[in-house]
Structure 1
């Protein structure tokens, strides 16, 4: 619960100057289909490479510097020909691509073009709280859906309202929230969304503070992310 309270405190600071739902604006609403497409795995916007991630690295027209599979070591570095040890952990794939282009361009290649993608994310953390059997912080390995995240916490309690499961996340430094019907997802009546590292999942929104319950009530619909 401590992790969730810290998240909500940060969200409150970001929304400073508003008066609860009266200050809420849906102008930042994200289309659910757009969200589902954008969060389909490790290539989701803002993903930062971590130790033991498996990457695909391509240097255009230079096969000796290209790898279908290359692993970030435990210290967060890549071991590459010519360049040696290069820091990868903490960077997005785009940032790493830019860094490698700069390094190669300074000494070895003229106008190099580098593409980096994450083939498999080794581990990310997610917080599952609320009406679940074992609230806590869990390690995700690779692609993880909302159903799988809740299963990590051994599912909802007998009194949990699974029709209202909130997912809080930070996008470009701004807190966001969406509400999903986990019961409908289990029945196959709704898509099972991908959750991302550092998301906070709260089963049964009745357990949130009145301020956050009111904000959620004015969202334009279930499964729609909106800025807090």
Structure 2
């Protein structure tokens, strides 16, 4: 029956070519809303074509004009993708374009004539990294080919020029299967890699680590600058390195009508001792500073 299908496809090829444009538009119009939502939810994978497939990933296979072959498939624990007619195909470690080529090659081997195959990923489940700590969007992120530390930190909403200290990457050893994030002090068999955030901000490429499956990125709590007194929005602020007093006051909403910026004081820990110092508007504030803006005398 499968070989007869291939013959029929060849005999009707001219009609199919004529109908191609209209058929394609119809298929696009009928795309399930659930697939559109899935694409929206997984858009954080900046380059899905570079993603290496693995067990439990869910892919959508479309074989043009072959509804019985098209559908959603889960990559099995052994890394195989099982499709009607051709059976199991190795999928683990392949990109979407590579698995498309493999399926097309198998279907062309006595089943269909010049099959048109498209594969997209619906759910990422196999390769992932974890981000914890002080970022806007901590969580799990899919791992594409050659994903770097800076890329994942950017996805997670980290602002490198406002961060201080070291970021820690906890990397499980090859013989350990990890199902979730691992912190440096949890006692698992893992390597701990520490990277100075100043190096990343400075663009030192050699310090931008290529991530591996199961890595946990730990972003430390950032020291803040505290602003009190005659500003419109007193509070604690994480600010980029090099921020001046004038810029900080602007971030805090500006002075009140009674603020005296010329009499501003900073309380800063120096060599373990708390020091009081006068700041000018172009002086740079430091993490941990407490800035006090007093009232005008008259």
- In the superposition, the TM-score normalised over structure 1's length comes to 0.46
- In the superposition, the TM-score normalised over structure 2's length comes to 0.37
Structure of higher CA gyration radius: 2
- Relative contact order higher in (CA < 8 Å, ≥ 6 apart): 1
